[in-house]
Amino acid sequence: MKKIIFDTDIGVDDAFALACAARTQQILGITTVFGNVAVGQAVKNARLFSQLIGCNAPVFRGCSRPLALSPSASATTVHGGDGLGDVLDNPFDEEAGNAVSFIIDTVRALPHEVTLVAIGPLTNIAAAINLAPDIIPLVKELVMMGGAFGTNGHAGNVTPHSEFNIWKDPHAADQVFSSALPVTVLPLDVTHEVLITGDEIRALNMPVLEQISRGYLQYSLAREGFEGMALHDTLTILWLTHPELFVTVSAPVRVVTEGITLGQTLHKVSPLASRFDPYADCRAQTLCLGVEAEKVKAAFLAILQR
């Protein structure tokens, strides 16, 4: 069990990840960010879902827009207008303490003990290390869901090149990857390999997950002919519990911040010298590019069926 700060733009698959984290990790706090929904809605969702699953972690309000780009629309087509499938009454308000300050203060108070788990845009993380670069060597690890590197054809899900979390704030992602933070990346290369069916969701010991995923499953069935979903964000937690089930490479990463490939994640693939090296001074990060999908899914099901 690790001490984690759970950074989320909480939508349907984020809720699955939070349910898994609540059963396996010590959640110090939940920090919210824009992405699947506006940040205020993310605060409401985090409070509501935490109450429904018996998680007592405090909730904090983070960044409401990207560092440099104009804000883009929320993912209401997939996650519903409220981010949780539009099936739950939500009595909670949007006000909360400052997420970036919470990250900074917690890491300083618990040096080398805090794992940051980021499953939305990386804006809160970038803001924290920009405001307080002294925390960078104090973070145990940043485990994040985002990016796509093209393994087995797994490219972008917003554009042909770009994954949603990175595309929402590519400048923040590039700052994080270019920093000295130790990062483990769970990209679409592995998350698209781990699929759960509607029947498997309905068989879980968590009716609330079945409720909030109905619209998501209908969208998937209509668009892809598959009544199911990828366990995108949950793989960050399964990395913490079962790292041996992933195949990794070590390489520095950068993010494209302009042009038709905006939001594309690139890693250095050759040690050969070049005239200009955009990866110079970037630390090698851990990229999960392979996964034992059935074993990971079995581990997830076992956690939620306890």
Q: Which residues are known to be catalytic? A: 232
Find the Cα–Cα–Cα–Cα dihedral 10, 14, 20, 26, rounded to 10°. -40
Q: Which residues contact 137 (CB under 8 A, 6 or more apart)?
A: 180
- Assign 260 to helix, strand or coil: coil
Beta strands 285-291 and 195-197 are unpaired
In whole angstroms, give the CA distance from residue 66 to residue 61: 15
Residue for token digits 């519903």? 80
In whole angstroms, give the CA distance from residue 44 to residue 61: 10
Residue in 194, 193, 187, 192 with CA at minimum distance from that of residue 167: 187
Residue in 144, 53, 131, 49 with CA at minimum distance from that of residue 98: 131
Residue for token digits 């706090």? 29
Asked if 265 and 255 count as a contact pair (C-beta separation under 8 A), the reply is yes
Asked if 87 and 79 count as a contact pair (C-beta separation under 8 A), the reply is no
DSSP letters of 161-208?
A: S--HHHHH-HHHHHHHHHSS--EEEE-HHHHTT-EEEHHHHHTSS-HH
Residue 54, class by beta-carbon neighbours within 10 Å (0-12 exposed, 13-18 middle, 19+ buried)? exposed
Q: Which residues contact 97 (CB under 8 A, 6 or more apart)?
A: 58, 60, 61
